[in-house]
Amino acid sequence: MAEDSAAGARTFPAPKVFFNLSVKALLFALPLFLFRESVHWLSGWVYWGMYAAWSFINALLLYRQDPALLLNRLMQAPEVKEPADKLFSLASPVLFFIALGVCAQRPCWPGGAAWFTLRLAAFAVIGLAYWLSSLALLSNSFALKAVLLQPGQTPVSAGPYAVVRHPLYAALAAFYLCTPAALGSTAGFIPAAAAALLVVARTVFEDRFLHKGLPGYADYSARVRYRLFPGLW
């Protein structure tokens, strides 16, 4: 077993993974500072720094526990086949990057303790969303970016999946909605809310897809009633 682990570590494409993560982090910074037209933006740097730190820490956690999932999500992602899923997987990130550009260009929240507290709370929720995302990924080896059925797939009820059926989408929706508040932009709520609504729509689509095609999912959904938010929906 030790020899297998060592061999797996040697064959794992760590440089390619590091390069992939670095490129994604740079692309994430692009709409923030390009539309800001300045690098002097404390909130932007904190926001981007949280994403970059989570991105690499999450990759390290997955490398230690589920390197195959890490590669499948980063570099070997299966093709999105369902037409509705293609729409959701494309439109939601595009709207979110528009939201980042709007937040960078039109930050309008004033200073003061009350506004600072709201922004701090938004950053805290974003941090919790990152934590929930990692917890969900570490609990579910079938958590690909495309909606499809995989060989040997079964409903997962470990970790946050014991509370809601789609914790990754819950984290993503919260992340989208809290971004304008963290960056202090009222106008940014418009595209961010649209992106979050598409995440909710994708949740409904995936839930119906799994009900139809995944054995045992109906029983699982009967036990775990809520899709995204406990006690609400």
Task: Write out pLDDT tens, residues 167-179.
Answer: 999 999 999 999 9
Mean per-residue pLDDT, 176-192: 94
Q: List pLDDT tens digits, range 201-229.
A: 999 988 999 999 889 999 999 999 999 88
Domains and CATH numbers, the chain: 2-223 (1.20.120.1630)
Q: Is 60 exceeded by the pLDDT of residue 8? A: no
Q: What pLDDT score does 218 carry?
A: 92
pLDDT of residue 6: 42
**CA dist., res. 229 & res. 163, Å (int):** 9
Q: What is the mean pLDDT of residues 173-199?
A: 94
Q: pLDDT grade, residue 77 (50/70/90)? A: low
pLDDT at position 182 over 50: yes
User: How large is the greatest C-alpha to C-alpha distance in the chain, in angstroms?
Assistant: 59
| Phi/psi-derived region of residue 112, left when phi > 0, alpha when psi is between -120 and 50, beta in every other case | left
pLDDT on residue 9: 52
| Under 8 Å between Cβ of 145 and 207 | no
- Residues 110-149 pLDDT 10s: 777 788 899 999 999 999 999 999 999 999 999 888 888 8
| Mean pLDDT calculated for residue range 46-71 | 94
CA 172, CA 175: separation in Å to the nearest integer?
5
**Closest by alpha carbon to 166, among 127, 202, 215?**
202
Contact status, residue 173 vs residue 167, Cβ threshold 8 Å: no
**Tens digit of pLDDT for each residue in 78-107?**
677 777 778 888 898 899 999 999 998 887
Q: Between the CA atoms of 72, 73, 74 and 75, what dihedral angle is there, to the nearest 10 degrees? A: 30
